[in-house]
Amino acid sequence: MQIRTLLTVLFSLVITSCSVRDSAPSNVRLDPDKIRDAVPVNEPFSRYGNPESYEVMGKTYHVMKSNQGFVQKGEASWYGTKFHGRKTSSGEEYDMYAMTAAHKTLPLPTYVEVRNLENEKKVIVKVNDRGPFHDGRIIDLSYAAATKLGITGTGTGPVEIRTINTSGLDLSTASSEAVSTTDAGNSKIHVQVAAFTGEQQAEKMATDLRDKRFKSVRVYVAQLDGQKFYRVRIGPIPNMDLAYRVLRNLNDIGHDAASVLFD
């Protein structure tokens, strides 16, 4: 009975957070270009927020047992200051500056790519909360995620969400076969590790990454305003799941500026 009561309280909080159009912080302005995506990690499902089913406003929702291969289209909304610092359904504290989101049925936590269907901007968020419970809305984004996606001004926006599979592979060694498949030749996904003005620095980093068993490491030359840049990239990579596994492995060895690119 205590567990049922706890779940009722948690979901009541979420209902309120997702049914009220929230406000942005009055004293902070985020630069969308400087907001970094959540980095997917392989972590167990939360002890909280994952009942087999729950009821909100007379409607029953069934929590998915697996998050693999899930794709959905609909409206995204966001929540901000009103619930900043409060508990989410997973028990984590809601941080409107973190790249998180709420979803009605995905297991918590789940990492998803959210694509704005109007401007083609994309973000990666960690789903750690329940909601939104408005008809047609499929995901409630944190203030930071909504800012990066470009929907804070309108309050909502049409999106496609796609789950990221974080299970299974060792990021550096498992990419050796996957990146060399024929499917990779048609892919336009790369992970950029760094960019240099000097070729020697770029080649040195590329060699170091190959020594650490990263595969398909290349140096690409680009010219901007008469200046040559040498970009150290891994790829092409056949799918988003593998790209974010590679990114996580780079972060683990200190390459915090690495990012996923869609060329």
Q: Where are the domains of the chain?
A: 2-163, 175-262
Exposure on the CB side of residue 233, measured as CA atoms within 13 A: 20
What is the mean pLDDT for each group of 10 consecutive residues in the chain (263 residues)?
Answer: 42 45 67 87 88 94 94 94 86 91 97 95 95 93 95 94 72 38 49 93 96 93 88 87 82 85 69
User: Which pairing describes strands 100-102 and 122-129: parallel, antiparallel, or unpaired?
Assistant: parallel
Extract the tokens encoding 112.
Answer: 């998803």
- In 3D space, the residue among 137, 140, 138, 134 whose CA is nearest the CA of residue 152 turns out to be 140
Amino acid at the residue 182: T
**2-163 and 175-262 share one CATH topology?**
no
Say what the pLDDT of residue 2 is.
40
Is the pTM higher than 0.75?
Answer: no
Residues 116 and 118: their CA atoms lie apart, in Å, by 5
3-state DSSP assignment of residue 168: coil
Identify the burial level of 59 via C-beta atoms within 10 angstroms of its C-beta, where 0-12 means exposed, 13-18 middle and 19 or more buried. Answer: exposed
Residue ranges of the alpha helices (H) in 65-174?
A: 143-149
Residues 29 and 54: their CA atoms lie apart, in Å, by 37
Say what the pLDDT of residue 167 is.
66
- In 3D space, the residue among 100, 102, 107 whose CA is nearest the CA of residue 65 turns out to be 107
Say what the pLDDT of residue 41 is.
80
- In 3D space, the residue among 121, 125, 167, 118 whose CA is nearest the CA of residue 142 turns out to be 125
- Per CATH, the homologous superfamily of domain 175-262 is Sporulation related repeat (3.30.70.1070)
Extract the tokens encoding 128.
Answer: 């750690």
Extract the tokens encoding 182.
Answer: 């024929």
CA dihedral sign of residues 71, 16, 116, 183 = negative
**CATH architecture of the domain formed by 2-163:** Beta Barrel (2.40)
Exposure on the CB side of residue 257, measured as CA atoms within 13 A: 7
Say what the pLDDT of residue 239 is.
75
